[in-house]
Every structure is written in C-alpha cells, then in structure tokens.
Amino acid sequence: TRAYEQANQLMLAREEALALEFLGDVCRDEGKLDMARRYYSRALAIGTSLAPDGDIVVEVMRRQGQVLGEMGRHSEAVSTLGRSLVLARRQGDSYEEGLGRRALARTFLELGELQPALEHSLRSVDLLNGIGARFQWAQSQLLQTRILLARLDGGLAEKPEIVLEEAWRGALAALDPFLQAGGEHWIVETRTLLSDLTRRRALWEQIQQDAAAGHHHGPQPILH
C-alpha cells in the first residue's frame, strides 16, 4: 500500500500498476476475490494506457482469468486467459505463456474438458522446463498428474497401468523442486498425491495378479 501511495504521488504509472497488481495477489491469497478483481482492473487500466500489449497487461489479465476461474465463472476465465495467452505468445514470453497455459489447463479440468486440459498442461510443462523455471514447472507437472488421474477415473485411459506409472513418476519428479524451495504447502500436497498413487498402483497390480491366477470369487475391486 505504501508503494502504491508513493508511486501515485511521484506519478510513476508503471510502479503504480505493479503495486495494484500485487495488492490484488494479496487479496486473492486471502480469499477476497472481488477485491482482488478490483485491484486487477485498476492495474489493467493503467497498464493498457501505458502499453496495450505490454507485460503488465499480460500478467494482470492472466490473474484476472485465474480469479474468474476460482469464482466459478469458467467461461469468462477461458476467454480472459485466452486473450492473455495470445499476448504472451506475441511477446515471445515463455514464462507467461507457461503460466497462462497452466491456468487454462486448470480451468478446463474444472469444466471436465480433459483433452484441452491435458494439451495445455503438457505445453506448460515443456515451456517452463525449457527456461529452467523449476518451481513453476513442478506446479504444472503436479497439475498434469491430476489431469491424468481424471482421465483414468473417467475411463478414458486405454492402458491404466501405463497412466498410473506416468502419473506416479510425474508427481515424484515434482516433489524435488518443492523440497529444494521449502514450499511446505506444495510438499504436503505432492506427498498426499503420491500416497494415493501408490495405493492405486498396488490395487491395480493386485487386480492383475488375481486375474492371471483366475481368482474371480467374491466382490471384485473397481477402479473408477
């Protein structure tokens, strides 16, 4: 807030927009989504007046899309994130494109549209890995793992054992950057997911063993 006030007094428009952007981030982290959107809208107005296709516009527009998704306004989120992604690609900003594609992947996952969700997550992983953004890459990798499991649970995986193995390896790879960064929230989330994956793999192996041995008596376990 002090940074915003000083930027306003000194008529430093770019710094003013950045301060508003980060105030929006704080509100979003606190769950005050309407207030976050107001800060982002003000930052976007200033950023657009400075450079309609500039980096501030791309960053803030992506954040607006993410907030819309968190508010359950998924159609608006997809539209906003799509516009942000176009600008990021136009600028050649691989970092912003990677984050934007991850946000789109998450939104499509929530909509149950798993194919575009998987495509955007794969591209996000590739982009962030290519520029060495390890912490952000790990977050995209974790999301990709969740999308793979959603496809498995939806009966869209032809070879469940391969999908489970891919998902388990992906989550395990994501854990290392989180451990290095000390991101407790992400460490807990990843370890919980790995525990679930370990259980799923063990169950699948048991089903395969029982089928091979001809053990069909009693209730059969179901992967759904």
* Residue 7 pLDDT greater than 80, yes or no: yes
∠ CA 194-198-204, nearest 5°, is: 140
Q: Which of the four pLDDT bands, split at 50, 70 and 90, describes residue 171?
A: very high
| Residue 219 confidence (pLDDT) | 60
Token readout for 20 is: 């508003």
- How does residue 215 score in pLDDT terms, banded at 50, 70 and 90? low
- Given a cut of 60, is residue 212 above it in pLDDT? yes
In this predicted model, what pLDDT tens digit does every residue of 112-165 receive, in sequence order? 999 999 999 999 999 999 999 999 999 999 999 999 999 988 888 778 888 899
- 146-155: per-residue pLDDT in tens? 999 999 888 8
Could you tell me if 76 and 41 are in contact, meaning their C-beta atoms sit under 8 angstroms apart?
A: no
Q: Is the per-residue pLDDT at 209 higher than 90?
A: no
Contact of 43 with 20, CB cutoff 8 Å: yes
Torsion of CA 214, 154, 148, 71, to 10 degrees: -150
Which tokens belong to 126?
Answer: 């590739």
The pTM (predicted TM-score) of the whole model is 0.88
Q: What is the mean pLDDT of residues 27-54?
A: 96
Looking at residue 125, its pLDDT comes to: 97
pLDDT of residue 9 exceeding 60, the answer is yes
